[in-house]
Structures are given as structure tokens and as C-alpha cells.
A and B are shown apart, each in its own frame.
Chain A
Amino acid sequence: MPAFPSDLRRPGLIGLAALLFQTAPLAGQATPPAPTPPAAPPAVAPAAAPQASLQRILSSEISISRTEAELELGLADGRSLELALRNGRIEVDGDEIGTYRRGDALDRSWRELLSRAMDAHSDELPALLAAWTSPDASGATLDSTLDAALAGTGLTGGVTGRLDELQDDISSQVDRIRSEVEREVRRELESKLRSELRQEMGFNGRGAAWTRPFRNIMKGVGNIIGTLALYAVLVGLGFAAVFFGRKYLEGVSDTARYATLRSWAVGLAASFLVVPVFVLGVIVLAVSIVGIPALLAWVPLFPLAFVLALVFGYLAVGHAAGEALAERRFYGGEWFKHANSYYYILTGMALLQGLHLAAHVVEMAGPWLRIIYGLLVFLTIALTWLVLTIGLGAVLISRGGTRPVAAPVAAGADVGSEFAEESRV
């Protein structure tokens, strides 16, 4: 809210009004003797005035802090008054009318008055405030303004003047806000219209895609790099799994390979049951006093174990895929030398990520091959889900690779010693 344009005039007006009220009896004395009885009360003498002459305070707000002591009154005649000692300034309705020093006589006296006013009954408030007198000259205007307001007199000229100023100020504010709103609305409409036009003319989205091959190529390259990074991470994890737990990885891998359908079914059931099992576990442990400490382990460890099972299962299925591929090539001759678990992980992960990679290569062609791209993305998602489900099932069936499913050996088949080693469980 901007300051009033006549900020400098307002304190003067208020001070002048207050001074007039204070000097009113003197002025009365200066005029020729009137027929009024000499015992008539002065126009403004609130401290000495009976309580009945004070007007009602309808609302009050008193705030006291280290830096300010403020009194805001709503009076029965509809006027409001704000008196404050704030940061060294004496203020009436937000205007500075003088200064004070923190802790001086005025500051202490005003704070004491407000503290008492906070606890006073509302009916006692006018008399309490009216009875206050400033301890020194710096608070005289504050005192007289408060007294004049409570007596229900004075400040009329000042208030009228302020109302006019206020009206002017409000009018200018309204004009300013209106022009701002109009400007905003125009800007908003223009931007909306522009974007709709762009859409209509095909500058955005699909239209632009047909004519911007470089963007598609860059996007595709970025996604290919992302896929290769994912491949590197998976291979790294796979190598770690082979190094630290080859036996278990191969166990899960064999289970996925030789009991694929069963693994898928078990994995599917497990993925549906995981949430209910978790919740049930929480409930069972929560209701039993003994189980409450176990709950602390169950809540973080169960989801962790599930995620680990998923990752381990995925690696194991990759391993199985790599092994299957190596066996096919083995019949060709050369590749038998490379038939170890590290090689299986490398090739298996490449197989599993191959579709993903292909999708991004096709993506570089932009909208021209959008259908094929969509198909490849769908197949990638389906394959990933299938692999994760089979892997999870294989982990569960083989108890984490400790009880793997054996490879079926055809009766009477001629299995060489080396191959038998490979297929043995």
C-alpha cells in the first residue's frame, strides 16, 4: 500500500486539531462573557470528565513488543484510532507526530498503560485510557488525541480532510489496478491465442517433429547412451553377483531356464501378494508385544529384500539367456572357450537390452517409423516385465539359488563329460 500523498500534512493537521481542543477553554475565556454558567465543563477535559461522557470502545487491539507498543481503537461513533510508539517514532494513525527514546518516561508510561489495558475489563477501558496523562511534553499530542477521540469530539476537520485524501488515493489505486488487470488479461489472451495458432498451424508437437530430424536424432542418441549406461550398470552388478555368489546366481539361472513357466507363475503370484504380505506382517507384529521390535526390522527389510530379489532374478535370467545363446554357438565350435558366467552375463544383458536399444535406434527416424518404435517400446516393456516376473519366481522357487531345479537330461542321450559338467546342477 503506498503512502498517502499528503503524508507531511497529516501529522500537522492532527497536531493542530489536538492543540485546538487543548486550547479550547482558553479561547472560550478570550471571548466576551456568555450567559452560560461558569461551572460548565470545558469542551475537552477527559481526564477529569465523568465516565458517562466518554464514548464506548467497540473494539480494541493492543500490541506490545520490544520495539513497539500500539493501541488501536474502534469507537462507537464509527471512527478508529491507532496510536503507537514504534521504533523511536510516536505515531497517530501511522503518521509520525514526534519521537521518543526507548525506555524514557513516555515509553515506560505508555507501555504500563497498555499492559493495564490488556487486562482491563472492556467497560473500564475508556476511563483507564482517558485518565492517562503523558509524563512529558513529547507525548502531549498522543495524550490529547486519545482524550479527544474518547470524548467523542474533535478531529472532525482532520478526519474529513483525510477522508477526501483517502478517496483520491483509493480512486487512483483503483485506476492503477484496473489498468494492470487489463494489461494482464490482454497478455494472457495474446499468449493463449498465439499457442492455439501454433497448434493449429502445426508448429508445435507433431507438426514440428516431421520437419526436425536433428532433434529426433539427438533424442535417439541420448536415449541410446542412456541404455548403454544401464547396460554397463547391469553388467557390473552381474559381474559382482558372479564373483560373490556364482553358485546362487547359477542356481537361480538354471531354475529360470529349466522351470520357466513355473517361475513365471510363482513370480506373478508373488508380485500380487507382496503388498498384502507386507501389510499383514506389519499388523501381526504390531499387535503382539514381542513382535514390536521385529517391526522395526520388518518395515525397511521386507521392501529391500523384495527389490534385491527382483534385481538378482533379472541378472539370473540374463545369465540364463547368455548361457542359452552360448550353447547354440557352442554347437558351431569356436565359442565354447568363452562359455563362463561372465560371458553369459555380458551376452545375456545385451540380449535383454537389445530391444531397448533397437527402439531408440528406430526413434531417431522420428515420426516416419513411429509405429515400429511404439511396437518395440511395447515389446521392451513386456519383455522386462516377463524377465522380472520369471526372475522373481526363480529366486523364490530355488530359495535364492540354494535349491535349484535340475536340468532335464534325455534318457540315453550322449552327453560328453564337459557338457555334463555344464548341465549338472
Chain B
Amino acid sequence: MFERRTGLIVGLLLVACAPAAAQDIRTLTSLRQRQGEERLEVDVEYGAGRLSLEPAARGLLYRATMRYDANAFRPVIEYRSGHLELGMKGSRNLRGKHRASRLQLALGPDVPLDLSISFGAGQADLELGGLRLREADISTGASETSLRFSRPNAERGRSLRLHVGAAEFHAYQLGNANFERVEFEGGVGDILLDFTGDWRGDMAANIDMGLGALTLRLPHGLGVRVTKDTFLSSFTAHGLVKRGESYYSENWDSARHRLTINIDAALGSIDITWVAGDGAV
């Protein structure tokens, strides 16, 4: 009787310990000092896990810290003459193994950046404020993503492209992004685009939305024009007046900075809310 019980306990302990033993958690930190680089192209391909991005300390080109299961993933950190490639290549059976995965990336605030992030499933917290972004292309899959521009972009960026799959995607203080153009393509999900911030130039935003709820948060004082082409989508145009085919904010003609929004949406709701000042979140 005693032996059976001991055997059972040992068996249960073995079963309980099995997943832990199967993993080989590895932490990898890679950093590089800036050496007069005039620009940096960053290409991040991260399948699943937790991804965070923030500005690095001055003088640094980048700092990346990865935590992953070495039995399931192989890290990719390659830097070659102004081009940084980061990512994680995985084995075939990744069930549950991405939970331990984490990538913390810090990019130098002194170098003009062309940023491309492709993120699959998981959580992403991207703080792009304070960087010098010229181009940014961010794709997410089934994820929960928070994108922030807490400080103004020191460069006048050309385009910020956001491709969002089935996701919860919240972008804050896009006014600080200082891009000429924002392209948003959304599949299914709950989307918030917050255009507050310190506006330094006009912006055009093209929003292509599939199925879901889209909230546009706009700061008072900004001139806004919305043109929409929707199918089975509700649209609440608070604070906007319809003139011809478009909806205009009352201060459109006198506003210092203007935001032109083109919405192409099917199935869902589009809500516009106005907030005071720069709407810091």
C-alpha cells in the first residue's frame, strides 16, 4: 500500500515537473553603441509572446533583450551596416511555448529610423515617442497592441502604416507621430486611434476597416475632415458638419493643423469623440 502511494506521488511529481524540465529558458541581451550611423533600418519579426519597444539611452544604437525557450526557438539578431534584423524562429510545435517568450527592444533616439515590425500573437507595448521615425510599418495578427507616441517624433515622417488582423489595437497620441500620412488597415477587432498630441504638421489618414468597432479620438482645435465609404456600418459624426460628400469640423477653415480622414469600412461602428487639449493619456 505504502509503495503504491509513494509511486503515485512520485508519478504526480514527475508529471508536474515535466513541462518545466522540457523548457530551456534563455535570456539574451544584445546591444550596440552608435558609431556615426546616419540611419537605421530595423526589421522585427516576432511570432508570439510579449513585445515591448521604447527609446534607448543616448549613444546607444539598440539594445535587445530576448527571453525564450531555447528548445523551441532560435533568436535572430543580425546587424549589418545600418540594418538590424531581429526575430525569433520557432520549431513546428509551439503550443504553449511562446508564453515564456519576451522581446524588449530599445532603439537609439539619435538616429533616423525606418521601422518595420511584424508581430503575430500576444501582447505588444510599443512606445515610439522620442524616436526619430521616418517610416514605420507595423503589422499585428491576433494580438493586443498598444502603440504610443508619448513624445513628439523629432523627424517629419513620411508614412506610418498599421496593419491589424484580429486584434485589440490602441494607438495613442498619434498627433505626436508627426507623419505626413497614416495608413490603417484593420481586419476584425476593437480599434482606437487617438490623434491627440503636439501637432507639428498636417496629416492624412486612410482607414480601411473590416469588421469591428473603430473609435477616433480627436483633440479640440484640430481641423478635421472625414470622408467615408461604408457598408453596413454605423457612423456617429459628433462635432462634424456635413458639406458635400464629407464631414468637417467647424474650425476646418481656420485650424492651424488639419487631419484628413478617409474611411472605408464594412460591418461595424465608427465613433468619434473629442477631447480637450493635447489629450495626454
Contact = CB atoms under 8 A, between A and B. Distances in A.
A163 B256 CA distance: 63
Given A61-B77, A123-B59, A287 B232 contact: yes
B276 to A, nearest CB: 35
B30 A121 contact: no
A206 interface: no
Contact of B57 (A58, A63, A122, A287): A122
B32 A118 contact: no
Contacts of B77: 61
Contacts of B28: 61-64
Contact of A63 (B27, B63, B267): B27
A62 B65 CA distance: 9
Interface string B45-69: 0000000000001011001010000
Given A121-B57, A122-B59, A60 B232 contact: no
Given A65-B24, A67-B24, A287 B267 contact: yes
A64 B33 contact: no
Contacts of B14: none
B232 A56 contact: no
Give the interface size class of chain B.
20 to 34
Contacts of B211: 286
Nearest to B233: A287
A118 B267 contact: no
A65 B70 contact: yes
Given A61-B77, A65-B70, A287-B267, A122 B24 contact: no
Provide the main secondary structure of the chain B interface: strand
B31 A59 contact: yes
Nearest to A74: B32
Nearest to A58: B33
Nearest to B32: A59
Contacts of A67: 24
Chain A contact residues, majority secondary structure: mixed
Interface residues of A, number: 21
Interface in B77-92: 77, 79
Contact of A59 (B25, B26, B70, B79): B79
B254 interface: no
B6 interface: no
Interface string A63-75: 1111100000010
Interface in B1-57: 24-33, 35, 57
A118 B26 contact: no
Interface string A24-58: 00000000000000000000000000000000111
Given A122-B59, A123-B59, A63 B35 contact: no
Contact of B232 (A57, A61, A66, A283): A283
Contacts of B25: 65-66
The CB with the most chain A CB atoms within 10 A, among B33, B70, B211, is that of B33
Given A121-B57, A287-B267, A58 B24 contact: no
B26 A56 contact: no
Interface string B222-235: 00000000001000
A63 B77 CA distance: 12
B267 A286 contact: yes
Interface in A98-127: 117-118, 121-123
Contact of B27 (A64, A74, A121): A64
A122 B65 contact: no
A118 B29 contact: yes
B33 A122 contact: yes
A286 B212 CA distance: 12
Interface of A: 56-67, 74, 117-118, 121-123, 283, 286-287
8 closest A-B pairs (Cβ-Cβ)?
A65-B26, A59-B32, A118-B29, A61-B30, A63-B28, A62-B29, A64-B27, A58-B33
10 contacts: A59-B33, A62-B28, A62-B29, A62-B30, A66-B25, A121-B57, A122-B31, A283-B267, A287-B232, A287-B267
Given A57-B33, A66-B25, 13 more contacts: A58-B32, A60-B31, A61-B30, A61-B77, A62-B30, A63-B27, A64-B27, A64-B28, A65-B25, A65-B26, A74-B32, A118-B27, A121-B57
